[in-house]
Amino acid sequence: MMHFRTTRRVAHSADNMFALVADVERYPEFVPLCERLILKERERHDEGDVLVAEMTVAYRFLRESFVTRVTLRPQQRHILVEYVDGPFKFLENRWDFTPLDDHSCEIGFDLAYEFRSRALQMLMGQMFDRAFRKFVTAFEARADQIYGKADRRVRTENV
């Protein structure tokens, strides 16, 4: 199983970053490899929404679609993405947004995945790994675009 974890400090509020990541329908506009995202279902709950989404990722001649359940917990500033259907044996992604002050936060990004097919793992594994490593950077760049670049930059770090 492949596993990737990073922690990154950004000069945007935890609430703004949570909202940006929770807006899954916008992913094709800026997320690496995301060609299409279809929101299939949305359940509203007091503690947050649960979405079912189908994402199509594409790279050169390769194209795969998969379905995930996305649990949004705005009070905890936590997002959990769980695998439902597609080419994976396992896929789980967690986002945590911890406020540092009113204008900055620490983002925790944790991803584990394994393809069903060993051939697909070999073929797509390196490409997925590179793309996933760019995810947090893509979200930070999108936040700069939407919310504006902060006058003071928070030092970013990867773990």
Q: Which pTM was predicted?
A: 0.86
CATH 3.30.530.20 fits 2-147, yes or no: yes
* 121-145 mean pLDDT: 76
pLDDT of residue 67 exceeding 50, the answer is yes
Contacts of 5 (CB under 8 A, 6+ apart): 108, 109, 110, 111, 159
Of the pLDDT bands very low, low, confident and very high (cuts 50, 70, 90), residue 153 is: very low
CA-CA-CA-CA dihedral for 133, 65, 55, 89, to nearest 10: -60
What pLDDT score does 79 carry? Answer: 98
Q: At 121, is the pLDDT very low, low, confident or very high (cuts 50, 70, 90)?
A: confident
Percent of the chain with pLDDT over 90: 60
- pLDDT of res. 59: 77
Backbone angles phi, psi at 26, to 5 degrees: -90, -5
